[in-house]
Amino acid sequence: MNVVIPTEDTHMQHIIEKVRHGERLTLEDGVFLYQSDDLLTIGQLANEVALRKNGKKVYFIENMSLYFTNVCEAHCAFCNFRKDEGEEGSYTLSGQQMIEYVEQHFHPGVREFHIVGGHNANVPFQYYVDSLKALKDRFPEVTLKAYTAAEIDFFSRISGLTYREVLQELMKAGLQSLTGGGAEILSDHYRKKMRVDKADVTQYLQVHRTAHELGLRTHTTMLYGSIETKEDRIRHLMHIRELQDETNGFLVFIPLSMQPINPRAGIRRRNSAFEDLKTIAISRLMLDNFQHIKAYFINIGVQLTQVALTMGASDAHGTIVKEKISHAAGALTPEGITREDLIWLIKGAGRIPVERDTFYNEIKVYE
């Protein structure tokens, strides 16, 4: 039994009682938690919820991040990954080129390809279909977790197909799950100000709704730490909570800590450890209908990820091999990690490492 540090604040006490009785937190509750500096109480309360849902198990996967193209028509203010066609450093790989890259890094333990990329309108929708098919034909045993909801919306625009038709074509080629990216902050005001010229709030949610209706389980994210308000963050969580009530199609929520464009940026340009831990804990408390909250070491570092496992996180992500998007934006963390290091990291937090597949089926428990 965890002991929650007493607080004189009646609102905090009210939140503690609600969480312990399984009552849903409100917008006002979430904003209050963000305004509070009582990280220990918030973290311990989130830890209680995580233990109630998953016991001491913390999950990870052997996966590889793949990027077929960095050419993108969007000009999101926070992105340093994108390039224009013909710009130095731009690329668009064929299926065969990607297979050659994978074969250089692949080992039989890899269970998932995590595939995202730019919105490249210089190639047809069929290119994106064929890219998946090439991988699935060569590595049939590996799950294809591919494309963001924003990419699906983009494919719909360039092909003239509906979201359902786009997803069905990709599923025929081997698609088994959607990634969580493209959510950023689910606020139209934020998206306008940050030049998020891709799927809007309604479109992002509708893509995932359609995917869930087709039987796909998907992932979802929140990119925090720029111009959004604390209320924007809580409303974001409530948007995805409402969709989860409707479909129960999300596997996990991943808070993504915004990275500065310049890798040499000082600490004042980065989210604090305090803010990162608080966001993970509050996500666990707000998202009562999600089984897992992920601590993403690529954004917050491996040591803070370990601490996060005692503050609401039940997933430590995966091996990745070579991450590019956050590192293009200035992440100072490792580009990947070994299975042995992940196991060590999880055990160091007093938790039980569990190797999983994309759908959280347990492959091996490391007692």
Q: Where are the alpha helices (DSSP H) in the chain?
A: 10-20, 27-35, 39-54, 95-105, 125-138, 149-159, 163-173, 188-193, 201-213, 230-247, 273-286, 297-300, 302-308, 325-328, 339-348
pTM comes to 0.92
Statement: residue 81 has pLDDT above 90: no
Quick: pLDDT tens for 118-129.
999 999 999 999
- For 66, left (φ over 0), alpha (ψ -120 to 50), or beta? beta
Percent of the chain scoring above 70 in pLDDT:
90
CB distance 234 to 278 below 8 Å: no
Domains and CATH numbers, the chain: 58-365 (3.20.20.70)
Tell me, what's the pLDDT at 319?
A: 78
Tell me, what's the pLDDT at 298?
A: 82
Quick: pLDDT tens for 173-230.
999 999 999 999 999 999 999 988 899 999 999 999 999 999 999 999 999 999 999 9
The token pair at 171 is: 């599923």
Residue 62 CB coordination number (10 Å): 22
Most confident stretch, 92-106, 211-225, 289-303, 337-351: 211-225
State the sign of the Cα–Cα–Cα–Cα dihedral 209, 287, 316, 34. positive
Tell me, what's the pLDDT at 331?
A: 52
Q: Which amino acid is at 35?
A: Q
